[in-house]
Amino acid sequence: MNRNSALFKSEFFLQNNLHLYINRYAEDFTVPFHSHEFIEYCYVAEGKGFHHIEHETFPVHKGMLYAIPIGVSHVFRPSTPQYSEEPLIVYNCLFDKQMIELLSSKIEDASIIEHLATLENKTHSYFTVFDRDGSIERLMSTLYREMSVPSIGTKTMLHALLSQLITLVYRLKVATNEKSTTDNADFTGIINFIEQHLSESITLTDLSHYSKWSNRHLQRLFLKHFGQPFRSYLQNTRIQKSCELLRESSHKISVISQLVGYHDNGSFHAVFKKIVGKSPTEYRKLYKE
């Protein structure tokens, strides 16, 4: 992917003096890799695809929310150019520094105000949380409807809903960060183990022997951290790594298939096309062009 980054300016999106904008967008291949002058919460509502952020690429699916600070470059891409088959639908909630100032006078929790400041000043990088019970989606949907069909008290309602969204996302972020230090370190070790042995056959039982945790507990951890079971996580990780190798190396596709753990080229091609929407050859050609 061309990492030259366009800049999206506040005055183009945040009009009518609201300092806030919400849309529901079917992602495509026309939006450029970009940064912006405002904070953005991106919520995946439907479909699958990829999220390119700075120098990383992540497979995305329904329920994932990314908080993108001012100045961080990113773009979403659908899995396939055939948008009607399985479109990648994303709610985008944009708000600027002026909105943070408005909300900071109403928010009582100093920790949330400090959290907003880190997004405004790019003190910390982007982060992601997973919407397990649909709470984020309901808020995003209500924000979108209120923005699309304004009525009496719309501005007040938008401020209240945005405060709820920011608070909910912050709670999920803190809950994710407050895992036990030992468990967190051990699970990080498991992820490192997967990355180091990606070319080998890896099963949940292998990870159970390595970690001394049960298969069931490991499945819970993968669902908690990544919103998907182990098998899907492993498959997405292998395809993510293969995309990186296709973009950045000159290895033959058969070699890349082996490096990411597919020892049958037919299986690799089938899984790659299912997730990415293109064959490995087509994908490499797209990025070379």
Write the CATH number for 23. Answer: 2.60.120.280
Same domain flag for 187 and 171: no
Main-chain dihedrals φ then ψ at residue 33, nearest 5 degrees: -60, 125
Q: Same domain, yes or no, for 24 and 94?
A: yes
Asked whether residue 195 carries a pLDDT value surpassing 50, the answer given is: yes
Q: Is the pLDDT of residue 123 over 80?
A: no
Residues 279 and 157 in one domain: no
State which of 177, 205, 227 marks the end of a domain. 177
How, if at all, do strands 34-36 and 6-8 pair? parallel
The verdict on residue 1 lying in a domain is no
Q: Do 64 and 157 reside in the same domain of the chain?
A: yes
Question: Half-sphere exposure of 208 toward its Cβ, with a 13 Å CA cutoff?
Answer: 11
Which element (helix H / strand E) includes 241?
A: helix 230-248
pLDDT value, residue 2: 46
105 and 218 share a domain? no
Residues 171 and 215 in one domain: no
User: How confident is the model over 156-185, as pLDDT tens digits?
Assistant: 999 999 999 999 999 998 876 665 455 666
Do 100 and 116 meet the contact criterion of CB atoms below 8 Å apart? Answer: yes
Q: Are 190 and 272 part of one and the same domain?
A: yes
235 and 271 co-located in one domain: yes
Regarding whether 200 and 161 lie in a shared domain, the answer is no
Question: Considering the chain, what is the average pLDDT of its residues?
Answer: 88
Same domain, 147 and 187: no
Q: Average pLDDT in the 189-193 region?
A: 90
Band of the pLDDT at 56, cuts 50, 70, 90? confident
56: amino acid identity, one letter? E
- Mean pLDDT score, 48-52: 91
Domain range for 216 is 181-288
Do 252 and 142 share a structural domain?
A: no
CATH number of 227's domain: 1.10.10.60
Per-residue pLDDT band at 80 (split at 50, 70, 90): confident
Q: Work out the pLDDT band at 95, boundaries 50, 70, 90.
A: very high
Q: What is the DSSP string of 249-263?
A: ----HHHHHHHTT--
User: Is the confidence at residue 289, as pLDDT, over 70?
Assistant: no
pLDDT on residue 277: 86
Most confidently modeled of 41-45, 75-79, 207-211?
41-45
More confident residue, 142 or 217: 142
Residue 236 sits in the same domain as residue 279: yes
Q: Is the pLDDT of residue 261 over 60?
A: yes
What pTM does this model have?
Answer: 0.65
* 29 within domain boundaries: yes
Residue, of 102 and 76, whose pLDDT is higher: 76
Domain count, the chain: 2
* Token pair recorded at residue 210: 């390595």
Cα–Cα distance for residue pair 242/278, rounded to 1 Å = 13
Of 112, 144, 177, the residue at which a domain comes to its end is 177
Give the range among 6-15, 18-27, 159-168, 260-269 with minimum mean pLDDT.
6-15
CB 41 within 8 A of CB 67: yes
| Residue 34: predicted pLDDT | 94
Cβ atoms of residues 74 and 27 within 8 Å:
no
The helix/strand/coil state of 59 is strand
Residue 185 CB burial class (10 angstroms; 0-12, 13-18, ≥19) = exposed
Of 121, 143, 177, the residue that ends a domain is: 177
